[in-house]
Amino acid sequence: LFIFPNSGSEHVLSQPTDKSNDKLLGGLLAAGFDEASCTSRYQSYLYRKTSFYQPSSYLTSRLRNYEDLHKRCGPNTESYYRALEQLKSGQTVGSSDCKYVVWISFSGLGNRILSLASTFLYALLTNRVLLVDRGKDMADLFCEPFPEKSWFLPMDFPFIDQFESFDQKSSHCYGNMLKNSVLNASAESVPSYLYLHLVHDYDDHDKLFFCDEDQSLLAKAPWLITKTDNYFVPSLFLITSFEQELSKLFPEKGTIFHHLGRYLFHPSNHVWGLITRYYQIYLAKADESIGIQIRVFESRPGPFKHVMDQILACTLKEKLLPEVDMQDSVVTLSENPKLKAVLVTSLNSGYSENLKNMYWEHPTLTGEVVGIYQPSHEEYQQTEKQMHNRKAWAEMYLLSLTDALVTSSWSTFGYVAQGLGGLKSWILYKPENETAPDPPCRRAMSMEPCFHAPPFYDCRAKKGTDTGALVPHVRHCEDMSWGLKVI
C-alpha cells in the first residue's frame, strides 16, 4: 500500500512499518555511516514510496561481504600497496590477495551512472574491488557508498593521467592484444593489468569480454581498467559462469539497477539540497505527481511541434494528464480540487511552457488542477560547468520521486530515473522524419535500462546469433530494436 503525498508536512509515504528497516531500504544499506556527511543516504526514504521490490537476503549479505572486502583492499591498505607493486612491475608474479576493477569516468552523467552500476555488478561477480576514477565531478555529485574506505582511485595511481587516451588501440587493450595474438584465451599468464574497451564503438575482439573462456583468462589479471558508456548487465546474464550467481542475487530479474542504483548513488549534500528544496516547494503538496522527461536527439534546438504533439498524444491517451475543455464551459471548481503536479525535465523550456499555458487557459474535464514545473532549461549539453551536472543529477532523482513517469527513447537520463524510482515508464518512441510516431508511446516491459551496444555472438558456436532471443529474461528493448534489456 502507498498513499499519495498529500498531507502537508507529513512526507512519509509508506505504510508504517519497521522504520529502521525502511531507512536502510530493506537491508540494502549498511548502518553506521556519519549521517551528516551524506544526508541523502538515510533521508531518501522520507521522499520515496517504499519500494515494491525487496532486495534478496542473498544480495544484502553479498553487499556486506563486498564492504568487508573493500575495507581490507581499498585505497591505502597494505593489500592495495602490494597490488600496486605488481601493477608497476608489469608481472603477475607474487601473490596479491586483492584484485581490482578500475572504472574510468567517461560520457554523460546518465551513461556514467549506468556503466558504473554495471561495473560494480561485475566486481561483485568476480570478487574484485571497484575503484572509481573521480573525473571532473564524481566526488562533487555522489557520496561514498562503502563504509570506511573510499571508492575513489587515489590521485597518484600510475596511469591516471593517461585514462583519457586509453582506447581500442592501446597496447594493454584486451581486444587489441587478442587481435594481434599477443594474448590468447588459453594463455597461462597475463599482464598485471588489462584495459577493457567496452565503449559503444568497440569491435568484435573487445566483445569477447562477454565469453566464458575470456572471463577465465581475465580472472587472472590483478588489475582490470575499464572504459564504457553502456549498461552492459544484460549480456552478463548470457555468460554461463555468472548465471547461477545472478539468479541468486536477483530472484526478481528486472530489479538489478533498481537495487544497485539505490545502493550506490546517494546525492551529495549539495545536490540533496537541490532535490529536497524543489520537492518541498513543488511536489510535496500534490495529490499525484507525473514526471515527463524530454530528450530530443536533434542537432537543431527545439521546441518541435511534432514532439509536443507526441507528448500530448501519449499523456492524454494513457490518461496520465487530464483533457482540457476547449469550449471553456463554466465549470465550478470544487473547494478542494485535486492537484496534479507535473515535473518536466528538458534542455528546452518550450514544452513545459506550452503545457503550462494549456492548463492555465482552459479548465480540465476532470476538475483537477494541473501544475507544470521545470527545474532548469540548460539549452544544450555541457561538460565544464559544475552546476550543470548537479542539476542534471537532481532532476533525474526528482523524476524518480514521481508517481508515474514518461521518458524519451534512447536516453540514459530517463533510464536512471525509472530504475531508481522503481517505475515502469511510458516510453516516447523516437520520432523519425520530424513526425510524431503513432502510437506515441508504450509502457516499459521492465524498469531496467537498455544495453545500447550488445554483442551478437554465440561464444560456444563461434558465430553470430540473436542474443535477444536466447533466454526469456533478456529481450530486445522497447525503444531500440538492437538493444538488450533484462525483463
Q: Does 302 bind ligand GDP (CB under 6 A)?
A: no
Query: Among 128, 258, 295, 485, which residue interacts with ligand GDP (rule: CB under 6 A)?
Result: 295
Q: Which is nearer to ligand GDP, 407 or 467 (CB)?
A: 407
Q: Does 278 bind ligand GDP (CB under 6 A)?
A: no
# residues near ligand GDP by CB under 6 A: 20
Q: Who contacts 256 (Cβ-Cβ below 8 Å, separation ≥6)?
A: 117, 121, 233, 250, 448, 486
- In the complex, least distance from residue 148 CB atom to ligand GDP, rounded to whole angstroms: 30
- In the complex, least distance from residue 461 CB atom to ligand GDP, rounded to whole angstroms: 33
CA distance linking residue 50 with residue 36, whole number of Å: 23
Q: Does 486 bind ligand GDP (CB under 6 A)?
A: no
CA distances from 167 to 4, 37, 201, 474 (A): 48, 36, 10, 29
AA identity, residue 276: T
Query: Among 392, 406, 459, 486, which residue interacts with ligand GDP (rule: CB under 6 A)?
Result: 392
Quick check: 131 and 163 in contact, CB under 8 A?
Answer: no
Per-residue cell: 344: 518536466
CA distances from 247 to 50, 116, 155, 255, 418 (A): 23, 21, 37, 11, 22
- Only one of the segments 133-141, 164-172, 203-211, 373-381 lies at the binding site for ligand GDP (rule: CB under 6 A); that segment is 373-381
AA identity, residue 59: L
Q: Does 110 bind ligand GDP (CB under 6 A)?
A: yes
Q: Which is nearer to ligand GDP, 110 or 261 (CB)?
A: 110
Query: Among 276, 411, 418, 425, which residue interacts with ligand GDP (rule: CB under 6 A)?
Result: 411
Q: Does 43 bind ligand GDP (CB under 6 A)?
A: no
- In the complex, least distance from residue 217 CB atom to ligand GDP, rounded to whole angstroms: 31
Query: Among 388, 424, 430, 473, which residue interacts with ligand GDP (rule: CB under 6 A)?
Result: 388
- In the complex, least distance from residue 394 CB atom to ligand GDP, rounded to whole angstroms: 8
Query: Among 395, 448, 478, 479, which residue interacts with ligand GDP (rule: CB under 6 A)?
Result: 395
Q: Who contacts 449 (Cβ-Cβ below 8 Å, separation ≥6)?
A: 114, 231, 233, 257, 412, 415, 416, 418, 419, 485
Q: Which is nearer to ligand GDP, 82 or 377 (CB)?
A: 377
Q: Does 381 bind ligand GDP (CB under 6 A)?
A: yes
Q: Which helix (H) or strand (E) holds 314?
A: helix 305-317
Per-residue cell: 427: 516510453
Q: Does 452 bind ligand GDP (CB under 6 A)?
A: no
Could you give the residue ranges of the DSSP H alpha helices within 31-161?
A: 39-43, 57-73, 78-89, 109-126, 138-141
Binding interface with ligand GDP (CB under 6 A): 107-111, 295, 345-347, 376, 378, 381, 388-389, 391-392, 395, 411-413
